[in-house]
Amino acid sequence: MTIKENIVNIQYQLTSKITLVAATKKRTSQEIRQAIAAGITHIGENYVKEALNKNLQGLATLHLIGHLQTNKVKTAVQLFDIIETVDSQKLAKEIDKQCKTINKIMPILIEINSGNEKNKTGIPPEQATKLITIISKLNNIKIQGLMTMAPHNKDPEQSRPYFKATKKIFDEIKSLAINDVEMKTLSMGMSHSYTIAIEEGATQVRLGTAIFGER
């Protein structure tokens, strides 16, 4: 199937309340432009340098969905429209600092390491509320929700407990009504697991293979 046909099929499954982010790591500029022409309005890139080289600004809303190193923040805040992978006070402060210099307020999501995996980035679930409470006081970032990636498993059903747990944290933080925190986005679910993620409350999914096919 073509990229356009894949997108049409996926969008048919999604309600208007679900944001579809095309995950474009290692995809060519031609592939990405085909997706945009087929109706994609949100692009997710994993690496700052790769996104910069693809020259995507102005073509879609650009999400950073990969780990962000503090030495790449200056470029990232100029390039991306939202950063989904904030997992420390140090990183949040650097984003705030660099955004202040360009008079920008950056929407961010807090990345939750829902499986407590040692080899993955993201904050442990039990620390999310504390981190959000602390960094919500920064003037040039805007916390808009949570993001998670469940532990890899061939059976998508195995992702359900992690999505369910992240949704619980999302609801708990939302109920606290922390000043300047707008819990509206729950980004979870990829090509093999997005239907499960949506069942568990995702408002945003990040799909690569389902759109573009195997690399």
Widest pairwise Cα distance in the chain: 47
Query: Which CATH number characterizes residue 187's domain?
Result: 3.20.20.10
Nearest to 120 by CA among 160, 83, 67, 82: 67
User: What total of structural domains would you count in the chain?
Assistant: 1
- The parent domain of residue 79 ranges over 3-212
pLDDT at 5: 96
Cα dihedral across residues 209, 32, 160, 131: positive or negative: positive
pLDDT at 130: 97
Q: If you average pLDDT over residues 135-151, what whole number do you get? A: 97
Q: pTM here?
A: 0.96
Confidence of residue 152 (pLDDT cuts 50, 70, 90): confident
pLDDT at 215: 77
The residues that bridge with 145 in the sheet, in sequence order, are 185
**Beta pairing class for 42-45 and 106-112:** unpaired
